[in-house]
Amino acid sequence: MSAIADMMASDPTTLYERLLAVKPAGLSENAWALRAGVNRGVFANIRKRNAANHATISKLLDAIGVTFAEFEAGIRADEKEPAPKAVQAPRLAFRGDDRPKDVPVRGTAQCADREFDGDGAQVFVETMQLDDEVVDHVRRPASLDRRRDVYAIYFNGTSMEPRYEPGEVAYVDPKRTPRSRDYVVVQLRKPDDDGERIYTVLAKRLVKAAPTYLELEQFNPPLTFRVDRKQVAHMHRIIPWEELVAF
C-alpha cells in the first residue's frame, strides 16, 4: 500500500480536503495546478475519485514548499516557521521576504500540439494557452522595480526541457525586442467573430526573425520550425535569469 493510501485509510478526511488544508491562503486551485505543472482538472479528479498518484501529490506539495510530513500534519505552507538564514549566504534578489509579490502570472495551460512547417516537412509542436486572467503573483526582482509592464508565465509541458522544466516560472518583457537565441513567448492569433484574439502561445527559442516568418526552436524533441508572421500577434522576450538575479 502506498503512503497516500496508508494515510487515507487512517483518516476519514478526503484527500481533497487535506490538500485544501495545506494550501496557502490566496492561492487558487487553478494557480496551484499551474505552478505544479499538472493538469488544471486535477482537483476535480481528486474530489471525484478521492485518490491521486504519488507523483501528482509530490508535484502539488513541492509547488507550495510542503513536505509529506507537514502534509500529514495539516501544516499550511504560509504558516510554517521560516528556515534559519545562512550567515553571509548569497541569495536571489527576488527570494527575500522583503520583496513584493506583485508580478502577475498569466494563466498558462497545455494545449494540443499544432502543426507547423519544419525542416522541409510538417511537424507537430507543443503549444500553450494564455489566459486573460491573472491566476497568481510571484516575487518582483529588484531589477524589475520600475517595470510594471512585465508579467510571468508557468511553463507547462516538456518541449523546452532541460532549459525550462514543467511548472517553472519565467518573467516576460513585452517591450524589449527579442534577438536571435533569445527565449520568447509568441502569441498567435486567428480571425474571430468579435475580431482577432489570441488563441495559442509558443514558448520557444528564437532562431531567426525574418520579414515574413519566425523560425523557432524547441529541445524535446529537438526541432526547428517556422511560423507565418501573419499569425503572430505579439512576440515577447523571456528575461534571462542572469538579468534578474543579484547577490
CA atoms within 13 A on the CB side of 123: 19
pLDDT score, position 157: 81
pLDDT score, position 117: 79
Is there a contact between 232 and 187 (Cβ–Cβ < 8 Å)? yes
Chain-centre distance of CA 200, in angstroms? 15
Alpha-carbon gap, residue 35 to 224, rounded angstroms: 27
Give the three cell numbers for residue 137.
Answer: 503573483
Superfamily (CATH) of domain 103-244: Umud Fragment, subunit A (2.10.109.10)
Low-confidence ranges of the chain (pLDDT < 50): 1, 8-11, 83-92, 193, 247
pLDDT in tens, 80-93: 655 444 443 344 45
Domain coordinates in residue numbering, the chain? 3-79, 103-244
pLDDT score, position 205: 94
- Grid look-up 511537424 returns 123
Give the three cell numbers for residue 101.
Answer: 509579490
pLDDT score, position 209: 95
pLDDT score, position 9: 47
The CATH architecture of the domain made up of 3-79 is Orthogonal Bundle (1.10)
Give the three cell numbers for residue 15.
Answer: 484527500
End-to-end CA distance of the chain: 46
